[in-house]
Chain A
């Protein structure tokens, strides 16, 4: 099996998503509140997995723009769950040594008086292992 195919299968395994169910209606991207900030849009994300181009996905800025708001999951008529694919690609990155997107050293300057603990807990879960 080629390395590319292996990576795509890993994404499918971690996410539990079958990207072939996608009928490319674009409703996920139309619903996405981060659409303008994403270089690879949610509906394209699905196609990249089908085309086994995981390399592009793990280098995509979209990984850090997805809010996990589940609008795409809720509205997908084929139950593809694009947010889960994005999460799987994010996990591929942060599970590598040196792949964390957030380091504890950054925290002091990001803090303010009102910042809730929930935000720190959530961001560490999403951005680091």
Chain B
């Protein structure tokens, strides 16, 4: 199976691990991530203003590139996934935005939200299947107690992202079980890490991340996993944090025995 792949700006630079381990794991699981040519940054945040068109075009270009290849579009970064799905929803369901974006694009055939956008975790759940994944694990992470940190961007708004139950998600816990570890459910797993506030208001983000790490450690986690480079950055700034924060693709690659083999 071949998917169009949108890595995004940070996976090329500060979050190379997130990208490399995703590619290596995909290969081990028997699917291919074909990077979209000349993709542009999604902007990191979804432009909420209904009159914002130009800021949505980088996503429309990527979505249309996948459509032309008749492939589904896979993202790994939570933020790219969030922005891509919401722009796609606009193109599918908001006539005004769709018309105006297509006026800029001047495509042979207008783009109307035809591409299906999947987060890598959704590929694991819905395409590979967690039972199949379990069969391919060669190094089960037995005995590891892992807290899933969802944050906001994967889950909300639930009606648009359609990723999992936004208040009581389980996809990452099911993933943790599939690779042989034990999920730790803690109350702050879908609370915000502070996001972009950490650029100018570092203390505010740190306070939020302190609550998250305290909650996870209090419930017995000895590791946190995330899909978002910004969540990882913010969580790592928590001064009271004792447990490591790693990308979910890293422990996936470890479980599949491809951690040392870089993609």
A residues with CB within 8 A of B: 13-16, 33-34, 37, 64-65, 67-71, 73-74, 83-84, 87-88, 91, 101-102, 110, 114-123, 125-127
What residues of chain A lie closer than 8 Å to B55, measured between beta carbons?
125
Contact indicator A110/B200 (Cβ below 8 Å) = yes
B residues with CB within 8 A of A: 8-10, 13-15, 41, 43-51, 55, 77, 79, 152, 155-158, 166-167, 191-192, 194-201, 204, 208, 229-230, 232-233, 236
Cross-interface CB contact of A125 among B14, B43, B77, cutoff 8 Å: B43
Q: A73-B157, A117-B9, A117-B14 are in contact. Are A122 and B200 (CB under 8 A)?
A: no
Contact indicator A123/B199 (Cβ below 8 Å) = yes
Cross-interface CB contact of B230 among A37, A88, A102, A122, cutoff 8 Å: A122
A-B residue pair count with CB separations less than 8 angstroms: 121
Contact indicator B13/A117 (Cβ below 8 Å) = yes
A95 CB, min distance to chain B CBs, angstroms: 9
Which 4 A/B pairs are nearest by Cβ-Cβ distance? A122-B44, A69-B192, A70-B156, A121-B44
Q: A69-B152, A70-B156 are in contact. Are A118 and B10 (CB under 8 A)?
A: yes
The majority secondary structure among interface residues of chain B is loop
Contact indicator A74/B166 (Cβ below 8 Å) = yes
Task: Contacts A64-B200, A125-B43 known; list 10 others, CB within 8 Å.
Answer: A13-B51, A33-B208, A68-B152, A71-B156, A91-B49, A110-B199, A116-B14, A118-B9, A121-B9, A122-B44
Contact indicator A119/B196 (Cβ below 8 Å) = yes
In the complex, what residue of chain B is closest to A118 when comparing beta carbons? B10
What residues of chain B lie closer than 8 Å to A110, measured between beta carbons?
199-200
Q: A15-B50, A83-B48 are in contact. Are A71 and B152 (CB under 8 A)?
A: yes
